[in-house]
Chains A and B, each alone.
Chain A
Amino acid sequence: MTLSILKERKDQVVERINGNETVSCSRESLAGAVSQRACVFCGSRVVLYPIADALHLIHGPIGCAAYTWDIRGALSSGPELHRLSFSTDLRERDIIFGGEKKLEAALDELITRHNPKAAFVYSTCIVGIIGDDLGAVCRKMTELKKIPVIPVQSEGFKGSKREGYFAACKAMFTLVGTGKPENISPVSVNILGDFNLAGEIWIIRDYLKKMGVEVVANITGDGRVDDIRRCHGAALNLVQCSGATLDLAKMMKEKFNIPFLRVSYLGIEDMAESLYIVADHFSHIDKDIEEKTRQLVKTELEQIMPEIKKIREELNGKKAAIYVGGAFKAFSLVKAFRRIGMSVVLVGSQTGTDEDYRELAKITDPGTVIVDDSNPRELSDFIVKKGVDVFVGGVKERPIAYKLGVAFCDHNHERKIALEGFTGMLNFAREIHNSVTSPVWKFHPARLSRVEEKSSEVCCG
C-alpha cells in the first residue's frame, strides 16, 4: 500500500524500527497541505484565555475573535469575563487609516464597562501589516485606566502556536512580581500549563492540598490576575504539558530564582510520579510529605483500579492512534494506553520538537508510525493501514475517524470530561471503552471491509 505523503513532507513521517529515529519538525506548514495547525494568535489565546478576571481584546477583523469565542472548556470558580469575545472588528476605513484610535476607544469603553483586573490586547495578522503601535496604545491606556493593559504580540503569520505561547508568557511575565508575596508557605507551588479544562486543575489542587502544598497561582486555568502578580512568592513551579508555559517558568527562574519541575497529570504513572517528585522536593521542609503522598496515591488507586481492570479485559489487544497538539501529552497517552491493554500504532503532534520525537521513538513499540504536523489525508491512510480501533485527537480529527469507522476520544482543549489525575485516568478508560465497544461499528462499511480483508487473508494464507 502506498501512502499519500507529499514529497516535501517525507522526513516528517517515520516508522519506528530501533528507537533511534528522528522526525524532521519545527517547519512552517507546507502551502496547500491541509495542516491541522493554527497560528501564533491561537497559541497566545490558549494560554491566556483562562485568566478569568482579565479582559481579552482581540485587535483585528472579526473572524479571529468569532472563531475563538468560548470554544474551550476552561472553567472558572468565580468571574467569567474570559468567556466573552471582544474584538475591535476592524473595517475598511480602519485598515486604510490605521486602527489605533479604534483600539483606544474600545479599551476605554470595555474597561469602564467590565472593570477587569488587567487587559490583554492581542494583535492579529492584519495589525502587523497596518503597523498599529500596540505598545504605545497599551501604555497610554494603562496610565489612563489604572490597570495593566498588556500587548500580546501574536500576529498569526509570525510562526506557529509555539511562538504564540512565548508571546503569552512574555505578556504574563510583565505581571509577575508586581504584587506582594506575603503570607506564603515555604511549601508552595504555582501550577503552570494547566487550563482547567473540565475542572482538571481543581483535581490537582485537591491532591496538592492533601499533601500540604499551598498553590499560589493557577497559570492559567481558573487564573486570576492578582495571583499571577504575586506568584513569584511561590517556592516551586510545576510545569505541565508541551511547554506552553515553559518559557514563563524559565523567565521566573532567571529573575526570581524559582526552580521548576516538569510534570504530567495524565495517566497513573505520570500522575503519581509528578506528585512524588513534588514531595521529594519539599521533603527537607516537611518530613511527612512523602508518606502523605504515598497514602494519597494508594487511596486514589484503590478507588479506580477495580473498574480499570474490568475495562482492560475488554480492550486488551486493541490498537490506538494519537494525534495531539503537543508531544508531551503524547508521552503520557502512550503509557495510559498500555495501562488499559492497548498498543499505540500511530502517534504524532502538531508542534513537537526534535527532542520530543526522539523520546517518542524510544517509548513506542516497533512498527509505530511517528508524524509531525500531519494532515487528514495522511492520518486516514495510517488509520486504515494500521487497523486502528480508536483515535485520540481534537475536533478536527473526529469526523475523519468516524467516517472511517474508528472510535474516537476528544483529548483537546475542547474536552468536557476531566482526563487528568487518577479520576481522569478512569474517565479516560471509560471514554475509550465507551466508544470502542459501541455496536454502531458493526454496521460501518469501512469496518465491514476490514473484516472481509482479514478473513480473505486467513483463507488465502
Chain B
Amino acid sequence: MAENHVSTTNACKMCTPMGASLAFRGVKGSMPFIHGSQGCATYMRRYIISHFREPADIASSSLGEKHAVFGGAPNLKKGILNVTEKYNPEMIGIASTCLTETIGDDLKMITTEFLSEFADLDLPHLVTVSTPSYSGTHLNGWKLAVRSMIEKFAGSSPALTADNTINIFPNFLSPADIRLLSGIFREYGLKTMILPNISDTLDSPSWEEYINIPEGGTSVNEIALAHRSGASIEFGYFHKGESAGSYLEENFSVKNYNLLPPVGMRATDALLSAIEEITGLERPQRFVNERGRLIDALVDGHKYINFKKALVYGDEDFVVSMVSFLCETGVKPVIAASGGKADLRKRIEAICEGFCPCPLVLEDSDFDTIEIAAADIKPDLMIGNSKGFKISKKLGIPLIRAGFPIHDRFGGQRIITTGYEGALSLLDLIVNTAITTLQEETRVGYGYM
C-alpha cells in the first residue's frame, strides 16, 4: 500500500514558516517576516490570500546567492530596518526557513546583535521562531510562533494580582470561529487574551484608505500580562516545547487546560465545563438552549446520516476534532488522514470509544495515499479542505469543505465549526449533503425529503 512511498504526491500539509506567519498575523500591529529567499514568502502570500481574500503582507529578507554563502544576517537586519520604516509595526515576527536554518543563521543572535547596533532607534519588538520545514508542518510553525511570543512577552510587565482574564490559545481556526469563541467567553462576562486573534486581521472590513497593517489582533501589552491570567485554555495537540499554556503553567503557575478544539457536543461541553471549573460561574441559559437545539437537530437528522461513511483529512487537530463530532452524529469516520504527526491513532481510538470502531488512521500522509485508501473503502462523504477536491471528483464522493485552505469556494474565512452553533451548521451541511445524494440518486426527484 502507498504508505511506504518514498516520495510525496499532493501534500496534505503546508510548510512551517507559513503557519508561523499566520500566527504572527493575529497580533496587533504585527508584521510577519520570513528570513529566506523571496520565493517562499511570495508563494505563501498567494496561498493565504486565495483563502482569506485579504491582503497578506509578509516581508522577506530576499536572500540571494551570495547571502546563501556568506550568511543572511546583513539582509535580515536591512530588512528589519526597511519594514520598520515602511510599516511602522509594533512587532515583527521573524520565522526562519529551510534555507536559513541549513546555512546556520541564528535568528536570536542576529536580532540581539541588531538591537544593540541600533539601540538609538525606536524599534519594534522582534520575535523570532525557528521553523525549518523539514522538521514539521504549518501547524507546528503556528504553535511554535505562539509559544515564542509568550516566552518573549509574558512576565515582562510586573505581575499585579491575578485577574479573571483567561488566556486562549485557539490554534488554527477560522476568523469566524475566533469571533464565535470570544462571544462564548463574553457571554460568561469574562475577559480573554486570545493568541493569536486573527478574527479581524484576516477578515477585515473594506478600507477607506490604505492600511499598512490590518487593524485588530491582540496587543503586545495584553500578551505581556498573560502570566497573571486566571488560567489558560489551549486547543489541540502539542509536541514538547510547543505549548504556550504549559510554559505559563510551568513558569508562572497559570493552570493550563489542554482541550480538543471545541467541535461537536462533547468537545464544546468540555470547554464550557472548563470555563465553569475555572470561574465557578453558572452556565448561561443561552448555551443550555443552544445545546438543546443541537440535540434536537441531531435527532431530526439522524436517519439521513447514520452509518454514512466519512473520510476526514487535514491538519492533525482538525482531523481529531472532526472525527469526534462525526462519531456523535452517527456518521462513521472510516479514514482519518493528516500530513502532520500528532500521535493520531491513540487519540482517535480514545475518541471513538463507545461510538464507533476506530477508522483507518493515516499519519504523515499525502493525498495520493488517501486516494488509494478512499478507492478501497469507498466513503460516502469527505470533510476537509479544498485540496481533496481532486479525489472527490475522481471518486464521485461529495466534499464538505472546512479547514484550510479553501481555494475553490467562497467564504472559507467565515466557516464556523466550533461551539454548539458550529456543530449545528456542520450538521446542516452533512445532512443536506446526504439528502442531495438521495435526491439525485432517485429518478423521481422527491420534492419532500
* Chain A residues within CB distance 8 Å of chain B: 4, 6, 28-42, 57, 60-71, 83-92, 94-95, 102, 105-106, 109-110, 125-126, 128-130, 156-160, 376-377, 380-381, 384, 395-396, 398-400, 402-405, 444-446, 449
Point out the residue from B7, B43, B56, B61 that lies within 8 Å of A109, measured CB to CB: B7
Contact status of A157 and B102, CB under 8 A, knowing A31-B75, A33-B59: no
Q: Which residue of A lies closest to B81 (CB)?
A: A32
A34 pairs with B134, CB closer than 8 A: no
The CA-CA distance from A90 to B63 in the complex, in Å, is 21
Restricting to B259-281, which residues have a CB under 8 Å from any CB of A?
none
B38 pairs with A35, CB closer than 8 A: yes
A85 pairs with B9, CB closer than 8 A: yes
A377 pairs with B7, CB closer than 8 A: no
User: Chain A residues with Cβ under 8 A from B55's Cβ?
Assistant: 376, 399-400, 403
Point out the residue from B39, B60, B390 that lies within 8 Å of A64, measured CB to CB: B39
A61 pairs with B98, CB closer than 8 A: yes
A-B contact pairs, 16 of them (CB 8 A): A30-B62, A61-B15, A62-B137, A64-B40, A66-B13, A85-B11, A88-B8, A89-B8, A92-B134, A94-B134, A106-B7, A125-B68, A125-B98, A402-B53, A403-B204, A445-B208
Min distance, Cβ B2 to any Cβ of chain A, angstroms? 10
User: Chain A residues with Cβ under 8 A from B387's Cβ?
Assistant: 69
A86 pairs with B102, CB closer than 8 A: no
A95 pairs with B102, CB closer than 8 A: yes
The CA-CA distance from A444 to B207 in the complex, in Å, is 8
Tell me if B414 counts as interface (CB < 8 A to partner A).
no
Contact status of A67 and B68, CB under 8 A, knowing A94-B134, A125-B37, A377-B212: no
* Chain B residues within CB distance 8 Å of chain A: 5-11, 13-18, 33, 36-47, 49-50, 53-65, 67-68, 75-76, 78-83, 85-87, 97-99, 102-103, 132-135, 137, 204, 206-212, 339, 368, 387, 390
Known: A84-B10, A88-B6, A377-B87. 10 other contacts (CB 8 A): A34-B41, A34-B57, A39-B37, A63-B14, A63-B18, A87-B9, A87-B11, A129-B102, A157-B63, A396-B49
A29 pairs with B62, CB closer than 8 A: yes
User: Chain A residues with Cβ under 8 A from B15's Cβ?
Assistant: 61-63, 66
Min distance, Cβ A450 to any Cβ of chain B, angstroms? 10
A62 pairs with B133, CB closer than 8 A: yes
The CA-CA distance from A141 to B357 in the complex, in Å, is 45
Contact status of A156 and B37, CB under 8 A, knowing A31-B78, A85-B10, A396-B49: yes
Q: Which residue of A lies closest to B387 (CB)?
A: A69
Contact status of A86 and B82, CB under 8 A, knowing A377-B210, A446-B207: no
The CA-CA distance from A36 to B59 in the complex, in Å, is 10
By CB atoms of chain B within 10 A, which of A30, A66, A86, A105 has the most?
A66
The CA-CA distance from A369 to B184 in the complex, in Å, is 50
Q: Which residue of B lies closest to A87 (CB)?
A: B8
Min distance, Cβ B149 to any Cβ of chain A, angstroms? 20
By CB atoms of chain A within 10 A, which of B7, B17, B208 has the most?
B7
The CA-CA distance from A192 to B175 in the complex, in Å, is 44
The CA-CA distance from A449 to B204 in the complex, in Å, is 19
The CA-CA distance from A88 to B9 in the complex, in Å, is 9
B54 pairs with A88, CB closer than 8 A: no
Q: Which residue of A lies closest to B85 (CB)?
A: A6
Q: Which residue of A lies closest to B101 (CB)?
A: A95
The CA-CA distance from A403 to B98 in the complex, in Å, is 33
B134 pairs with A157, CB closer than 8 A: no
Min distance, Cβ A459 to any Cβ of chain B, angstroms? 21
Point out the residue from A38, A69, A398 that lies within 8 Å of B42, measured CB to CB: A38
User: Chain A residues with Cβ under 8 A from B132's Cβ?
Assistant: 61, 92, 95
A-B contact count (CB 8 A): 231
Contact status of A396 and B210, CB under 8 A, knowing A31-B76, A125-B99, A157-B65: no
User: Chain A residues with Cβ under 8 A from B49's Cβ?
Assistant: 395-396, 398-399
The CA-CA distance from A37 to B134 in the complex, in Å, is 24
The CA-CA distance from A395 to B42 in the complex, in Å, is 11
The CA-CA distance from A413 to B304 in the complex, in Å, is 42
Contact status of A32 and B13, CB under 8 A, knowing A157-B67, A398-B49, A446-B208: no
The CA-CA distance from A34 to B87 in the complex, in Å, is 10
User: Chain B residues with Cβ under 8 A from A398's Cβ?
Assistant: 49, 53
User: Chain B residues with Cβ under 8 A from A400's Cβ?
Assistant: 55
The CA-CA distance from A400 to B54 in the complex, in Å, is 8
The CA-CA distance from A61 to B102 in the complex, in Å, is 12
User: Chain A residues with Cβ under 8 A from B212's Cβ?
Assistant: 377
The CA-CA distance from A126 to B43 in the complex, in Å, is 16
B39 pairs with A38, CB closer than 8 A: yes
Point out the residue from A32, A88, A110 that lies within 8 Å of B33, measured CB to CB: A32
B44 pairs with A157, CB closer than 8 A: no
Min distance, Cβ B43 to any Cβ of chain A, angstroms? 4
The CA-CA distance from A381 to B207 in the complex, in Å, is 13
The CA-CA distance from A87 to B13 in the complex, in Å, is 12
User: Chain B residues with Cβ under 8 A from A42's Cβ?
Assistant: 39, 42-43
The CA-CA distance from A63 to B10 in the complex, in Å, is 11
User: Chain A residues with Cβ under 8 A from B9's Cβ?
Assistant: 84-87, 110
User: Chain B residues with Cβ under 8 A from A157's Cβ?
Assistant: 37-38, 63-65, 67-68, 99
The CA-CA distance from A449 to B207 in the complex, in Å, is 11
The CA-CA distance from A125 to B103 in the complex, in Å, is 11
Min distance, Cβ A26 to any Cβ of chain B, angstroms? 13
The CA-CA distance from A129 to B58 in the complex, in Å, is 24
A105 pairs with B133, CB closer than 8 A: no
Contact status of A102 and B11, CB under 8 A, knowing A126-B98, A395-B49: no
The CA-CA distance from A404 to B62 in the complex, in Å, is 28
The CA-CA distance from A212 to B267 in the complex, in Å, is 68
User: Chain A residues with Cβ under 8 A from B44's Cβ?
Assistant: 63, 67
Point out the residue from B33, B40, B135 that lies within 8 Å of A156, measured CB to CB: B40
A31 pairs with B102, CB closer than 8 A: no
User: Chain B residues with Cβ under 8 A from A128's Cβ?
Assistant: 68
Min distance, Cβ A110 to any Cβ of chain B, angstroms? 6
Min distance, Cβ B321 to any Cβ of chain A, angstroms? 22
Contact status of A32 and B36, CB under 8 A, knowing A65-B11, A377-B86, A446-B209: no
The CA-CA distance from A132 to B36 in the complex, in Å, is 20
B86 pairs with A39, CB closer than 8 A: no
Min distance, Cβ B53 to any Cβ of chain A, angstroms? 6
Min distance, Cβ B389 to any Cβ of chain A, angstroms? 10
Point out the residue from A35, A126, A396, A449 that lies within 8 Å of B99, measured CB to CB: A126
User: Chain A residues with Cβ under 8 A from B133's Cβ?
Assistant: 61-63
By CB atoms of chain A within 10 A, which of B6, B68, B80, B390 has the most?
B6
User: Chain A residues with Cβ under 8 A from B10's Cβ?
Assistant: 69, 84-85
Contact status of A396 and B102, CB under 8 A, knowing A62-B133, A404-B207: no
Contact status of A32 and B99, CB under 8 A, knowing A67-B43, A403-B207: no
Contact status of A38 and B38, CB under 8 A, knowing A157-B64, A381-B210, A446-B207: yes
User: Chain B residues with Cβ under 8 A from A68's Cβ?
Assistant: 43
